Structures are given as C-alpha cells and as structure tokens.
Amino acid sequence: MAEALDRLDLKILDRLQIDASESSSEIAERVGLSQSPCWRRIQRLKEEGYIKAQVAVLDREKFGESMYIFAQLKMGRLSDEARESFIRAIEDIPEITEAYTLFGEMDVMLKVLAPSMAWYQNFTFRRLLRLPGVEDIRSTATLSEMKCTHRLPLPSAP
Amino acid sequence: MAEALDRLDLKILDRLQIDASESSSEIAERVGLSQSPCWRRIQRLKEEGYIKAQVAVLDREKFGESMYIFAQLKMGRLSDEARESFIRAIEDIPEITEAYTLFGEMDVMLKVLAPSMAWYQNFTFRRLLRLPGVEDIRSTATLSEMKCTHRLPLPSAP
DNA sequence: TATGAAAAGATAATCCC
DNA sequence: GGGATTATCTTTTCATA
C-alpha cells in the first residue's frame, strides 16, 4: 500500500518537519518542483501516514519554571488487563510526555515534565507508585536542556 | 514585554499543539470567538514567542526499524570552549534528538534514535566517546514506545 | 503516469466599527 | 472583540508530454 519514497518526497518531509507553516509553493521552490505536484505529494504523504500530524511547538520556558525528569520504573508481573490499565493511566497524565518499555533491569522509562521538585516528589508517591505494577522508581532530574527536537534524521538531510 | 495569558489564549495554544492545521475560524469556533480576534491572538502568541514553530510530526515506524536509546554520559572537566564545541557537536548529530545536563552522577543524558544495535555500538565508539570531555557512557535501550508527545500540559487542558 | 497552468474555493490578513 | 472586505493560498480541474 505504501510505495517507496523518492528523494523529493524526503526533501519535502524534511522541510515540513522543520517548518510546516510554509506554503506548498515555497516548499515546491525549495525542493525544485512546481506548486501543484508538490501539493499532491504532500497529500499523498499524509494519506499514506508518513505525516501523522501538524502541531505547534510551544516554548515551555514561557510557562514558568519546569524541568524534565526521567523516571525508571521497576514493574512486577502484570496481567493483560493491568498492563492496559497502566498504559491508559500513562496516557491520561499530561505531565508524562514520553513512556518506553526497556531492556534490562528497570522495565519502563518515563519522561516527566515537572513544575518543581516538590511537585515531583508528590507525583511519585501519589501517582506513579499507585499505578498498577509499579514496585520501584529511580529518578534522574535534568538541569538544563541542550537540545530537544522531534525531527527525524532522513536520508536527504545533512 | 509578555503579558499574562488568559483562558482563551491557553485554549488556543492547546488546540494548536494538538492540531495546527485547523483554520483560524475552526479554532475560533472551538474556543468561542470569531475569526479575526482569534487570528490576532494567534499572531500575538507567535510574536511573543509562546509558539516557537509549527512542524509536521512524521511516523518514524514508516522509515524502517529504529529504536530510541538513552545514553548517560560521564563528563570530565571542560573549558568553556570545549563545552561549546560539545554542544555544537550534539546539535550537528541528527540522531541525537534530545540532550540534557543532569543532577547527580552522570552529567549528560542523550536520547538517540538508533537504526539498529549495530549502528549504535559503532556510534558510541566512533562518535560519542570522541566528543570533548566524554569519559564514560551508560546506555539504556528501549523496546517499544507507549507514549510520545510534545504537548505541554496547560492549565486549560484536561 | 506525472507535470504544469489556470480556475474555483477557502483561508489568512487587513480594514473599520 | 466583531463584521466585512481584500489578498493570498489551497484545492480542483483540465490540458500536455
């Protein structure tokens, strides 16, 4: 159902993940195409699911002090139900921005946006430790952000 | 220079970080405003820096197998120059999608998008360990993604 | 089948109230 | 902030190679 992407598709995708507010004619010019084929390619890339969404990136520093904290969770054995309820809980907590299952010792890695240390301490006890299956938590607090992007490395890019 | 945001601004921002492809009239309707004041607010939010960018979110699974790996780096003492050169190197490596300085033992946390384990092994030896100041690396590989968003929790949202 | 040109429709941007 | 107007861009259609 999804054919391979050519160099132009990759260039278009990379432009869009840098700046999706550009018009299709601007992008067309950048990648060396005229407006309408460029527009059609973008439509196709959306239909085929290469482009999942188009979102505004906000400046979190404008919304007060906050810090990312990585929390590694040690999980007990979970039934399928409990596991699903765990995942639903993760999705429902907006301060948890990312969650991954892990190889190795700790089972789950969370990235949490914490307004403060006090908030986070409360959060670990009142929320995280009460999630189904969570047995232990090891947290790593970040001090400052050097780089943060969602841009995927594509073959076309630098 | 930047005044406080009211409830409508927050609602607009949250809509935009969910879906920035909606027209200003659609957003206006959602937040209970007419098109032109809503558009003016969006412009102001961009000018004042609340909105940093508008980007396309790509589906990384469509681009072949890949995995996120968290790498914690132990750093030696760095001169200001070396530190800047380190940061520049981080920025220039597209597979490093996030980088944070840390409290505690390990100094730096990287999130790396690795095409494969073999690639990552090579990457740690040929790139990471050669960056200025890097003395040791502890890596945590992820198995699967449960949640991944850039949506900031705003007071208006659920 | 892919492209380019051009028309129709929708949206963004600017007016005045 | 709202309503109406204009400019711009998106989307469709059609002709071409």
- Residue A3: predicted pLDDT: 62
What's the average model confidence in pLDDT over B31-50? 96
Mean pLDDT of chain A: 93
- Residue B2: predicted pLDDT: 57
Lowest mean pLDDT among A13-22, B91-100, B103-112, B140-149: B103-112
- Chain A residues whose CB is inside 8 A of the B157 CB are 94
In sequence order, what are the residues at sequence separation of 6 or more whose Cβ sits closer than 8 angstroms to the Cβ of residue B118? none
Lowest mean pLDDT among A2-11, A62-71, A125-134, B82-91: A2-11
Task: Please write the tens of the pLDDT for every residue from A2-19.
Answer: 568 999 999 999 999 999
Rounded CA–C1' distance between A36 and C5, in angstroms? 10
pLDDT at B157 over 90: no
- Residue A106: predicted pLDDT: 77
Rounded CA-CA distance A20/B53 in Å is 8
- Token pair 């969370």 is at which residue? A110
In sequence order, what are the residues at sequence separation of 6 or more whose Cβ sits closer than 8 angstroms to the Cβ of residue B14? B151, B154, B156, B157
Please tell me the total number of residues recorded for chain B in this structure.
Answer: 158
pLDDT at A23 over 80: yes
Residues lining strand D at under 7 Å (Cβ) are A 23-25, 35-36, 39-40, 43; B 8, 33-37, 40-41
pLDDT at B34 over 80: yes
Query: Which secondary structure element, helix H or strand E, spans residue B74, and what is its range?
Result: strand B67-75
Q: What is the DSSP letter of B134?
A: E
Residue in chain B lying closest to A49 (CA): B59
pLDDT at B1 over 60: no
Distance from CA of B95 to the nearest CA of A (A): 6
Q: Is A65 helix (H, G, I), strand (E, B) or coil?
A: coil
| Nearest residue to A112 via CA among A82, A87, A142 | A142
Give the pairing of strands B134-148 and B67-75.
Answer: antiparallel
Share of chain A above pLDDT 90, in %: 89
Which residue type sits at B147? K
User: Are residues B13 and A56, on separate chains, in Cβ contact within 8 Å?
Assistant: yes
Q: Tell me which long-range contacts A112-116 makes (C-beta under 8 A, separation of at least 24).
A: A112/A68, A112/A69, A112/A70, A112/A71, A113/A60, A113/A66, A113/A67, A113/A68, A113/B152, A113/B153, A114/A66, A114/A67, A114/A68, A114/A69, A115/A64, A115/A65, A115/A66, A116/A65, A116/A66, A116/A67
- Residue B126: predicted pLDDT: 97
Give chain C positions with protein CB within 7 A: 2-6, 10-15
- Residue A1: predicted pLDDT: 41
**Phi and psi torsions of B145, nearest 5°:** -105, 125
Could you tell me the domains of chain A? 2-47 (1.10.10.10), 60-141 (3.30.70.920)
Cβ atoms of B20 and B13 within 8 Å: the answer is no
Cβ atoms of B64 and B35 within 8 Å: the answer is no
Task: Please write the tens of the pLDDT for every residue from A88-98.
Answer: 999 999 999 99
Take residue A1 and report the two structure tokens written for it: 């159902």
Rounded CA–C1' distance between B21 and C8, in angstroms? 22
What's the average model confidence in pLDDT over B64-71? 97
